[in-house]
Chain A
């Protein structure tokens, strides 16, 4: 062998390269090409030191890129050439510890090979609910620390048996270096509990649980990222009982179906939707029920009242596959929690918190390191749009061009947190509403665990401008403790920056942030905003006309109050004479008098430019809904009311220019007065609600187009909770495109407040670098 022609290549590969069978792949490739050296996992990613003939090394690099495992994603590859050291073999070396910048992989749904094994009576993993391999299985939900090795996961408490060890050590095996590898001999197992203790275990536990579901019982099942409450989706009585016990009046329940075929029997499923259902992320996909037939599976009406969509997922762990195969019909699979609390992850805690809800508990002895809910996606404009980003998607990072280490604490509802480090932003999984003690604890734990996993020391903390968000209060306390600055970020600015970050947009755009309410820079409630974003800052170039919300927070729960506030803006005290409206009728005369005083005297009636509250007001005026039972309900029902009605008609509106005394530049107010007057006329004359709702939506889109034309920025960013509305978003995109604009909307990161944490990071980076911060 002529050493002269030999060279050594050193590679550091970053990205999603751990826990996807990357090292075994490298091992096989090296063996194939007759190269020697080693590969290991370090906290920075995968490190390869490999030597041999130069041409073979070039082929190695080429094939590495071409043939890498499908779940892996290379973010960066640093290569350097050295003299060879004379390795005689290629080996997988032990992981080393260092600065933590490697990417933690999300959990992956069961792969087809594993699935086949668990249903094969001759296989040693027949009916084993914890089967996995390098292509599938738990990752983030069992991870305690980096690098991703068994000893850093909750699988460390299970000693591998000989057979599993052989698989783990065999480069030719699908389970070569599969960290959570397990089998019935050595791995976790099931138990069935009733409130007084264990009543069955192993496969028996599963079978009894399936029977119980068949009999209409509520079973709490410990899954991958937490507990589900499961009940027969066809059993109206059982579902009502679940609603009662969970104190969840109307918010739709997610469903798990045994098979794609059964889903297709009940819903319209596009090719993309099918792909999403079957993807390794296996999210809940919002699917429209078939209009043509009644639901084959006879889904009970209270699963998703007044809702043309069902949230459906396929089984994504062997446990779920076995259970669904046993029952054979769709079941409700809703988060195991009480009201708005976060999902339970521990069996003792579940018995305490869910004891009054569930009849039985199907649990197992593999610990869940952190709670992760199911993700929710829908298809908008033929694209996947993530509405709740959790299992399968979190915590994959968003790339940026900064190495600053910043923590952001997100909003108050639908909270997520985020960390930036080393040209990446890690956005946490959906944590929930920070109203409850368990949610606040989960929030603190998520921050602590992100800090620990990535060994992060933030240099600043970004939070919302709203002083009363629990996250804001926490940010101030933590910053005080760490002696680092707090950077408060305006809510809608954060919404827009989060959408820009996921599309890697830099420079200036017109951002349209429409949501419920957020704290404005002027101390009033914003929510129908047009912000012109420049490199360093933003300017509020236009907003929806403001109106009063009598009762403040209470008005969010009662759309009729938004309606009264809106109409008061137009008609003054006369609104109280409009007795034909449900918005007025549902109040007593005495209550109306008090509301009148509140509006006359500006008593607990804050003003808002919120688009969400405008939706509420119209829903109330049309008699659709006066009280909501969950966030966004009235607006959703107004969207659903369109029911496929097709029209291009819209209502008139006006644009008024104002000049604030503090700013030389003018800003525009979108005045909905003419629209509201016409809606009242249409409604009185008996025009269908479908038609009115379509015209209302169209008008909002025309408002967007009108301001886009005035501002003249080619790129228009649509963000905020209102853009979860499919009709509004799709029509806005189409109309903006028709007028020559380039619209952007959320796909990876939620349009709702789940995206705020990312936006806060981006705003803080802009502030720190004085605008020089750029996306990749």
Chain B
């Protein structure tokens, strides 16, 4: 099953298998987290499984990833994350010390993201039937603002804001897993995003849509939104920050940073009137993270939504040509998150 890369095959699997089978109004919105009205409260609910190799990498580990990933999915619908569950599938023979490090990391990440892990489950599988450890987290949050944050809310003229440079997580993981030696140690960008999103909302920024860039990278996230929204998204290559070391790694490996995974990056679709204010908030917001070289994060406007209803993403290249940024089927990076 070559569906794990987060590209078109996974997209097709979801569209052709899961959506028709489970079809309901909430699912069909197709957001990272489901918005549910319950007793007059608007809740957000999501789940995600983590199968990353290696378990520990510069800038994070499977534990912090499992917390941040689910927290971010809640944040992307504008929810305040509250409670998480944690499910562990352990392979017989996993050293207790490894597990302990992971659990500790989860605890720290939960604390940093202001969420509580309130329930859990543990299963052990025979040696050889797992890959050390798999972690699943589900999360519940509360939506405190009335606006519907979804691709359907995207409007022509919206600007697309990206909260920092792309491609680090994918390259960081691959470097450790495959033993690739680059000039510098590239750290994952893994980070919780909820606090920043809540600040934006509190300031009255009219966010139309958000998406965190995980597998499939910026290109896949933008394509999904363009397709569901039925709009054209135009971005500018020179506006998309990629660190030099990440760019260098991508060059030699033959990867396009637009398709490389991230864990602390998101795009927000915001009306022009709010763009400058949103950028200001994003720039001054401090992401709580230890041992990190995140000082150079620079949120920026990378493009805008045009009137055309073609559902494509186009990019003005460095030489001024308008390139199509496609949704690709293959795995630009093997299963990383």
> Which positions in A face B, CB cutoff 8 Å?
247, 338-341, 434-438, 440, 467-468, 470, 473, 550-555, 561, 590-591, 593-595, 597-598, 601, 603-604
When the two chains form the complex, which single residue of A468, A555, A597 contacts B180, counting CB atoms closer than 8 Å?
Answer: A597
Are B322 and A597 interface neighbours, CB within 8 A?
A: no
Are B252 and A437 interface neighbours, CB within 8 A?
A: no
Main secondary structure, interface of B, reads loop
Which residue on B lies nearest to A551, using beta carbons? B254
Which residue on A lies nearest to B250, using beta carbons? A554
Given A554-B254, A604-B255: A597 in contact with B178 (beta carbons within 8 A): yes
Which residue on A lies nearest to B333, using beta carbons? A604
B8: A residues at CB distance < 8 A: 467-468
A598: B residues at CB distance < 8 A: 253
Given A437-B314, A468-B330, A593-B181: A550 in contact with B254 (beta carbons within 8 A): yes
Distance between B237 CB and nearest chain A CB, rounded to angstroms:
13
Are B183 and A590 interface neighbours, CB within 8 A?
A: yes
Distance between B137 CB and nearest chain A CB, rounded to angstroms:
29
The list of the 7 closest CB pairs from A to B, nearest first, reads A551-B254, A554-B254, A437-B322, A467-B329, A247-B319, A437-B314, A339-B321
- B255-280 contact mask (Cβ, 8 Å, vs A): 1 or 0: 10000000000000000000000000
Distance between B76 CB and nearest chain A CB, rounded to angstroms:
26
- 20 A-B pairs (CB sep. < 8 Å): A247-B321, A338-B320, A338-B321, A341-B322, A434-B324, A436-B324, A437-B312, A437-B314, A437-B322, A440-B312, A470-B324, A470-B326, A551-B253, A554-B254, A590-B181, A590-B183, A594-B181, A594-B253, A603-B178, A603-B253
Distance between A353 CB and nearest chain B CB, rounded to angstroms:
9
B330: A residues at CB distance < 8 A: 468
Judge whether B10 is part of the interface by a CB distance below 8 angstroms: no
Given A339-B321, A340-B321: A473 in contact with B253 (beta carbons within 8 A): no
When the two chains form the complex, which single residue of B181, B255, B323, B332 contacts A436, counting CB atoms closer than 8 Å?
Answer: B323
| Assembled-state Cα–Cα distance A440/B322 (Å) | 10
Which residue on B lies nearest to A472, using beta carbons? B329
Which residue on B lies nearest to A595, using beta carbons? B252
| Assembled-state Cα–Cα distance A598/B179 (Å) | 10
Distance between A9 CB and nearest chain B CB, rounded to angstroms:
53
Are A551 and B324 interface neighbours, CB within 8 A?
A: no
When the two chains form the complex, which single residue of B179, B183, B312 contacts A597, counting CB atoms closer than 8 Å?
Answer: B179
Which residue on B lies nearest to A554, using beta carbons? B254
Residue in B182, B314, B330 with the greatest tally of chain A CB atoms within 10 Å: B330
Number of A-B pairs, beta carbon distance below 8 Å: 70
| Assembled-state Cα–Cα distance A604/B171 (Å) | 13
Interface size on B, residues (CB 8 A): 27
Q: Which chain B residues in 216-261 approach chain A with CB under 8 Å?
A: 251-255
A338: B residues at CB distance < 8 A: 319-321
A473: B residues at CB distance < 8 A: 326-327
B332: A residues at CB distance < 8 A: 604
Which residue on B lies nearest to A473, using beta carbons? B326
A590: B residues at CB distance < 8 A: 181-183
Judge whether B328 is part of the interface by a CB distance below 8 angstroms: yes
Which residue on A lies nearest to B316, using beta carbons? A437
Are B323 and A435 interface neighbours, CB within 8 A?
A: yes
| Assembled-state Cα–Cα distance A317/B182 (Å) | 58
Distance between A446 CB and nearest chain B CB, rounded to angstroms:
16
| Assembled-state Cα–Cα distance A369/B247 (Å) | 43
Are A604 and B254 interface neighbours, CB within 8 A?
A: yes
Which residue on A lies nearest to B183, using beta carbons? A590
A552: B residues at CB distance < 8 A: 254
Given A338-B321, A340-B321, A440-B324: A553 in contact with B178 (beta carbons within 8 A): no
Are A604 and B319 interface neighbours, CB within 8 A?
A: no
B329: A residues at CB distance < 8 A: 467-468
B312: A residues at CB distance < 8 A: 437, 440
| Assembled-state Cα–Cα distance A340/B324 (Å) | 12
| Assembled-state Cα–Cα distance A340/B182 (Å) | 33
Are B254 and A468 interface neighbours, CB within 8 A?
A: no
Given A247-B319, A468-B330, A594-B252: A435 in contact with B178 (beta carbons within 8 A): no
A341: B residues at CB distance < 8 A: 321-322
Distance between B135 CB and nearest chain A CB, rounded to angstroms:
25
- B8-25 contact mask (Cβ, 8 Å, vs A): 1 or 0: 100000000000000000
When the two chains form the complex, which single residue of A436, A470, A561, A591 contacts B322, counting CB atoms closer than 8 Å?
Answer: A436
| Assembled-state Cα–Cα distance A9/B314 (Å) | 59
| Assembled-state Cα–Cα distance A552/B328 (Å) | 14
Q: Which chain B residues in 138-180 approach chain A with CB under 8 Å?
A: 174, 178-180
B179: A residues at CB distance < 8 A: 597
A437: B residues at CB distance < 8 A: 312, 314, 322-324
B314: A residues at CB distance < 8 A: 437
Distance between B186 CB and nearest chain A CB, rounded to angstroms:
13
A467: B residues at CB distance < 8 A: 8, 329
Distance between B47 CB and nearest chain A CB, rounded to angstroms:
29
Distance between B183 CB and nearest chain A CB, rounded to angstroms:
7
| Assembled-state Cα–Cα distance A604/B254 (Å) | 7
Are B252 and A438 interface neighbours, CB within 8 A?
A: no
Distance between B81 CB and nearest chain A CB, rounded to angstroms:
35
Which residue on A lies nearest to B181, using beta carbons? A593
Distance between A209 CB and nearest chain B CB, rounded to angstroms:
25
Distance between B228 CB and nearest chain A CB, rounded to angstroms:
14
A594: B residues at CB distance < 8 A: 180-182, 252-253
Are B181 and A339 interface neighbours, CB within 8 A?
A: no
- B283-312 contact mask (Cβ, 8 Å, vs A): 1 or 0: 000000000000000000000000000001
Are B319 and A551 interface neighbours, CB within 8 A?
A: no
| Assembled-state Cα–Cα distance A424/B182 (Å) | 57
B183: A residues at CB distance < 8 A: 590
When the two chains form the complex, which single residue of B255, B320, B324 contacts A435, counting CB atoms closer than 8 Å?
Answer: B324
Given A551-B252, A551-B253: A468 in contact with B326 (beta carbons within 8 A): yes
Which residue on A lies nearest to B320, using beta carbons? A338
A470: B residues at CB distance < 8 A: 324, 326
B327: A residues at CB distance < 8 A: 473
When the two chains form the complex, which single residue of A339, A591, A601 contacts B178, counting CB atoms closer than 8 Å?
Answer: A601
Distance between B100 CB and nearest chain A CB, rounded to angstroms:
30
Distance between B230 CB and nearest chain A CB, rounded to angstroms:
12
B251: A residues at CB distance < 8 A: 554
